[in-house]
């Protein structure tokens, strides 16, 4: 069975050339076929080999997306939606060739309904762009995957979350409806703006997290939030990873109003100290943030400090200024780049899992032991307030045995999480990299996923070779 599905039914190279010519007639200079631009639109941030498309089409409207999908379908050419291209699991690769459909120029903020606390944006709008636009309204969009340059369409397609999910939820909770182009070229809107509805199937949440395999997201209605009166950040180093994880679990069970709670192990702290010129103790550490009123955040900080010290926190420091708070979170968001700087000449095999919060300490402890037993260089960092953590395995890309060891580790980690009632990926998505473990996680439900894919995309042209094999 092919990993990319109906490969035998896809266009030949000559037929793909005909399709590109038809696209050029429709889109003119918005079609590019240069080697450099095609490579930029293939996977570059992971161990998975890059597989460039045959051409890149830059869409500027939902109608452009529709026309591109129709032309691609007519020629049996795959369409691979493209946002900012992070693609940690090979989501933007083109294993059967085809067209990369770049939505980054669809960057209009269409409406802000401040009284309703929601907005409508095109798929290419970035989270940073949206929050800059909202700055004077007293509102903000909280889902923070670690970069301001992430496109909101891509975030929805991968069901992204990030550092603020413990308080505000993931993209699953914050997308109210979508406009999408389906494989046959039809344009659908999945719901209205009402905050709840029992009218029909939940197509919004079917498409959120579908990675462009069921439809191409072109517009989103997003939930907004009032900017908190008070924001306080803190750092709590611990004697052990177990202590940090148990403090996290108790804080969540007590219902403390944490907005962010991030775990960094000693190796990750060492890397960000070098990268960000910080002087943090090189021990397992929690980065924390509290949102609310002045009185509420002051109380939350005090309660968490007592709790943390009871679990072995060796100190507890509250950021004294907004500049210090921003510097702290900038360092956290640049964890990957810090690792690449700390281990020059190595690349990162980044993987993530998520487990029930009650199993977090156990899962992290077993993972820490696995890393040590196999002699890996693999910092741990995670959004542990919802049981999600990442491991960044640093390896020599020219050493096949090191890559094999990293793959084996990631497979063990995924199965460990699944055995604990968790998932093989909390936020990176499935893409090409986790198709096998997805089957282990979902079992017979994979057949239902295939049925959905075949019903909505009978030609298999929408981002083939991702999530499920056909």
Sheet holding 55-58, edge to edge: 31-32, 55-58, 99-102, 79-82
Tell me the two tokens of residue 272: 């960000």
**Domains of the chain, with CATH numbers?**
7-103+450-456 (3.30.43.10), 109-226 (3.30.465.10), 228-429 (3.40.462.10)
Q: Is the pLDDT of residue 4 over 50?
A: no
Q: Is the pLDDT of residue 7 over 60?
A: no
- 152 CB-near residues (< 8 Å, 6+ apart): 121, 123, 125, 126, 127, 130, 220, 222
Antiparallel, parallel or unpaired: β 285-292 and 230-237? antiparallel
**Which one has a higher pLDDT value, 352 or 46?**
352
- Prediction pTM value: 0.94
162: left (phi over 0), alpha (psi -120 to 50) or beta: left
Antiparallel, parallel or unpaired: β 99-102 and 55-58? parallel
- Distance in angstroms (rounded) separating the CA atoms of residues 353 and 356: 11
Average pLDDT of the segment spanning 70-95 = 94
pLDDT of residue 11: 85
110-124 pLDDT, tens per residue? 999 999 999 999 999
Average pLDDT of the segment spanning 463-470 = 94
Strands (E) located in 196-299: 216-223, 225-226, 230-237, 258-264, 285-292
pLDDT tier for residue 8 given thresholds of 50, 70 and 90: very low
270-310 pLDDT, tens per residue? 999 999 999 999 999 999 999 999 999 999 999 999 999 99
pLDDT tier for residue 46 given thresholds of 50, 70 and 90: confident
Taking CB atoms within 8 Å and a gap of at least 24, the contacts of 52-55 are 52/94, 53/80, 53/94, 53/97, 53/98, 53/99, 53/100, 54/16, 54/17, 54/20, 54/94, 54/97, 54/98, 54/99, 55/20, 55/23, 55/31, 55/99, 55/100
Compute CA distances 201 → 158, 190, 197, 207, whole Å: 20, 9, 10, 12
Q: Is the pLDDT of residue 6 over 80?
A: no
Indicate the average pLDDT of the chain. Answer: 95
Tell me the two tokens of residue 79: 């369409």
131-186 pLDDT, tens per residue? 999 999 999 999 999 889 999 999 999 999 999 999 999 999 999 999 999 999 99
Q: Is the pLDDT of residue 346 over 50?
A: yes
- The answer to whether residues 177 and 191 touch, using CB atoms and an 8 Å cutoff, is yes
pLDDT of residue 43: 73
pLDDT of residue 44: 65
pLDDT tier for residue 1 given thresholds of 50, 70 and 90: very low
- The answer to whether residues 422 and 303 touch, using CB atoms and an 8 Å cutoff, is no
434-443 pLDDT, tens per residue? 999 999 999 9
Tell me the two tokens of residue 154: 């891509």
304-335 pLDDT, tens per residue? 999 999 999 999 999 989 999 999 999 999 99
% of residues, the chain, pLDDT over 90: 93
375-428 pLDDT, tens per residue? 999 999 999 999 999 999 999 989 999 999 999 999 999 999 999 999 999 999
Antiparallel, parallel or unpaired: β 118-122 and 139-140? unpaired
Does the CA dihedral 248-252-254-256 come out positive or negative?
Answer: positive
Is residue 142 classed exposed, middle or buried when 0-12, 13-18 and 19+ CB atoms within 10 A define those classes? buried
- 274 CB-near residues (< 8 Å, 6+ apart): 338, 341, 342
pLDDT of residue 5: 43
- Distance in angstroms (rounded) separating the CA atoms of residues 51 and 53: 7
């Amino acid at each position: 069975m092919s990993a990319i599905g109906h490969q035998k039914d896809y266009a030949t190279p000559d037929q793909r050339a005909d399709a590109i010519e038809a696209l050029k007639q429709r889109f003119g200079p918005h079609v590019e076929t240069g080697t450099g631009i095609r490579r930029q639109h293939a996977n570059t941030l992971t161990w998975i080999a890059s597989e460039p498309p045959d051409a890149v089409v830059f869409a500027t409207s939902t109608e452009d997306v529709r026309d591109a999908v129709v032309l691609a379908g007519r020629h049996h050419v795959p369409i691979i939606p493209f946002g900012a291209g992070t693609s940690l699991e090979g989501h933007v690769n083109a294993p059967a060739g085809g067209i990369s459909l770049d939505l980054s120029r669809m960057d209009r903020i269409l409406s802000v309904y401040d009284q309703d606390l929601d907005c409508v944006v095109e798929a290419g709008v970035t989270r940073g762009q949206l929050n800059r636009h909202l700055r004077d309204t007293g509102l903000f969009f909280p889902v923070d995957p670690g970069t301001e340059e992430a496109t909101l369409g891509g975030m929805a397609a991968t069901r992204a979350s990030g550092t603020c999910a413990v308080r505000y939820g993931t993209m699953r909770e914050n997308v109210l409806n979508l406009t999408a182009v389906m494989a046959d070229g039809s344009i659908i809107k999945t719901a209205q703006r009402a905050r709840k509805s029992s009218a029909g199937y939940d197509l919004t949440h079917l498409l959120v997290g579908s990675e462009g395999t069921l439809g191409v997201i072109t517009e989103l209605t997003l939930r907004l939030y009032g900017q908190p009166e008070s924001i306080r950040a803190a750092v709590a180093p611990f004697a052990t990873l177990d202590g940090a994880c148990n403090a996290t679990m108790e804080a969540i069970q007590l219902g403390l109003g944490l907005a962010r709670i991030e775990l960094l192990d000693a190796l990750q702290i060492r890397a960000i100290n070098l990268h960000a010129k910080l002087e943090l103790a090189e021990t397992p550490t929690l980065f924390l943030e509290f949102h609310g009123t002045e009185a509420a955040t002051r109380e939350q900080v005090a309660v968490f400090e007592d709790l943390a010290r009871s679990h072995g926190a060796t100190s507890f420091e509250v950021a004294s200024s907004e500049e210090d708070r921003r510097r702290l979170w900038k360092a956290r968001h640049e964890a990957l780049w810090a690792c690449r700087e700390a281990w020059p000449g190595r690349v990162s095999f980044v993987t993530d899992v998520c487990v029930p919060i009650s199993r977090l300490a156990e899962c992290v402890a077993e993972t820490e032991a696995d890393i040590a037993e196999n002699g890996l260089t693999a910092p741990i960092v995670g959004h542990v307030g919802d049981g999600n953590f990442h491991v960044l395995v640093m390896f020599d890309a020219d050493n096949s045995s090191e890559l094999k060891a990293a793959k084996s580790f990631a497979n063990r980690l995924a199965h460990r999480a699944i055995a604990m009632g968790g998932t093989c990926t909390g936020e990176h998505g499935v893409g090409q990299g986790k198709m096998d473990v997805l089957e282990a996680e979902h079992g017979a439900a994979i057949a239902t996923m295939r049925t959905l894919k075949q019903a909505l995309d009978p030609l298999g042209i929408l981002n083939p070779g991702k999530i499920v094999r056909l």
